[in-house]
C-alpha cells in the first residue's frame, strides 16, 4: 500500500509517517516507480506506536515494541526490552500517583484551614463574620437611615 493509504487506515498523516520513518520506527520499501510501499506488518507496527503514545509513552519508548514486532513476535510487548520499558513506565506512574496524592492531601488541608480562617459557615454554626459589614452596622444611625 502507498503512504496515503497507510495514513488513512491508521488515522494519521503522511507527514507523521515520514517522521516515523526518519526516526527509524517505520520502514518503507520503494516500488519501481519510487513510491513508498507498505504492508500489513507496517500497519501493525504503526498501531503499536499509536497505542503506546495514547498511554503516554514517548516516541523513543516505543522502539523496543516495534523491534519486537519486526523480529517476528506476534505482539510487541513480549520481548525483554519491551517488558523493561513497561516496568520503567509503571515505576514512573507510581511515583506520579504518589506525588499527586501528596499534593491532594496538602491542598485539602490548606482548603480546610482557609475555610476555617475565612469563617466559612459550618452547618449549625454561626454565620461567617465580615469585619467590613460589622463596621458599617456599628456606624449606621440608630434610626436605620
CA 4, 26, 36, 73 torsion-angle sign: negative
DSSP assignment string, 73-106: -SSTTSSHHHHHHHHHHHHHHHHHHHHHHHHHHH
- Cβ neighbours of residue 128 closer than 8 Å, sequence gap 6 or more: 118, 119, 120, 121
The tens-digit pLDDT sequence of the chain (145 residues) is 999 999 999 999 999 999 999 999 998 888 888 888 999 999 999 999 999 999 999 999 999 999 999 999 999 999 999 999 999 999 999 999 999 999 999 999 998 888 888 775 555 556 656 666 666 666 666 665 5
For the chain, how many residues are written? 145
CA 139 to chain centroid, in Å, comes to: 57
Look at residue 12 and give its three-state secondary structure.
coil
Residues pairing with 29 in the sheet:
37
Q: What is the pTM of this model?
A: 0.69
Task: Using DSSP, state whether 31 is helix, strand or coil.
Answer: coil
CATH of domain 3-117: 1.10.1660.10
Amino acid at each position: 500500500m502507498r503512504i496515503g493509504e497507510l495514513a488513512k487506515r491508521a488515522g494519521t498523516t503522511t507527514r507523521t509517517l515520514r517522521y516515523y520513518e526518519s526516526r527509524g520506527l517505520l520502514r518503507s520499501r520503494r516500488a519501481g516507480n519510487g513510491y513508498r510501499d507498505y504492508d500489513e506488518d507496517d500497519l501493525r507496527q504503526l498501531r503499536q506506536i499509536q497505542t503506546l503514545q495514547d498511554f503516554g509513552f514517548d516516541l523513543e519508548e516505543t522502539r523496543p515494541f516495534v523491534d519486537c514486532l519486526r523480529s517476528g513476535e506476534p505482539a510487541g510487548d513480549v520481548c525483554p526490552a519491551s517488558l523493561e520499558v513497561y516496568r520503567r513506565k509503571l515505576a514512573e506512574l507510581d511515583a506520579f500517583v504518589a506525588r499527586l496524592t501528596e499534593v491532594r492531601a496538602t491542598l485539602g488541608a490548606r482548603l480546610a484551614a482557609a475555610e476555617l480562617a475565612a469563617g466559612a459557615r459550618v452547618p449549625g454554626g454561626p454565620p461567617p463574620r465580615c469585619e467590613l459589614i460589622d463596621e458599617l452596622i456599628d456606624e449606621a444611625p440608630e434610626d436605620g437611615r
